[in-house]
């Protein structure tokens, strides 16, 4: 299954993707930088900034294992919806591939979009794209 992440809400898309992964499907998400996060922009930017600054007191080089790139942020959101500590969650997670943009081997193929996760379903205009967080954290988009 190839999913187009453009203008899809992150949490709603990730929950459907997690379910498909647990059923054993291989899932590819393209245009990860265009995925939408709903909510207050300033709140989430502060939250991600604090997360990225976590350090270990004993060894400051150990720490801040939170993603900064757009594809990794989306991948981590899906991981949060899988039973990560169990073997079936880890094997399902290995079947997920997330890409920034559309890779050459997936061009010309049919993409799936979820109607429930579309940005047009939102009643509010408080949302932002994953690429904004990624560039704020200093990651490559």
Instruction: Identify the CATH number of the domain in which residue 52 sits.
Output: 3.90.1180.10
The reported pLDDT for the residue numbered 64 is: 67
The reported pLDDT for the residue numbered 61 is: 74
Q: Identify the domain containing residue 36 by its residue range.
A: 2-137
| pLDDT tens profile 54-79 | 776 777 777 667 888 899 999 999 99
The reported pLDDT for the residue numbered 48 is: 82
Tell me what percent of the residues of the chain surpass a pLDDT of 90.
60
**Could you count the other beta carbons within 10 Å of the beta carbon of residue 54?**
11
Mean pLDDT of the chain: 89
User: Does residue 100 carry a pLDDT above 90?
Assistant: yes
Q: How many domains does the structure of the chain reveal?
A: 1
Does this model's pTM top 0.95? My answer is no
The reported pLDDT for the residue numbered 92 is: 96
Arithmetic mean of pLDDT, 95-116: 92
The reported pLDDT for the residue numbered 112 is: 92
Answer for the pair 39, 133: CB distance below 8 angstroms, yes or no.
no
The reported pLDDT for the residue numbered 47 is: 86
């Amino acid at each position: 299954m190839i999913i187009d992440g453009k203008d899809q809400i992150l949490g709603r898309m990730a929950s459907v993707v997690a379910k498909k992964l647990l059923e054993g499907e291989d899932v590819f998400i393209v245009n990860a930088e265009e995925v939408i996060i709903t909510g207050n922009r300033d709140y989430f930017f502060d939250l991600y900034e604090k997360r990225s600054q976590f350090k270990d007191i004993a060894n400051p080089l150990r720490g801040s294992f939170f993603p900064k790139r757009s594809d990794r942020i989306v991948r981590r959101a899906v991981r949060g919806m899988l039973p990560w500590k169990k073997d079936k969650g880890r094997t399902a997670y290995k079947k997920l591939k997330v890409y920034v943009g559309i890779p050459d081997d997936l061009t010309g193929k049919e993409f799936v979009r979820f109607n429930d996760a579309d940005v047009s379903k939102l009643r509010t205009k408080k949302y932002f794209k994953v690429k904004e967080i990624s560039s704020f954290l200093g990651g490559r988009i």
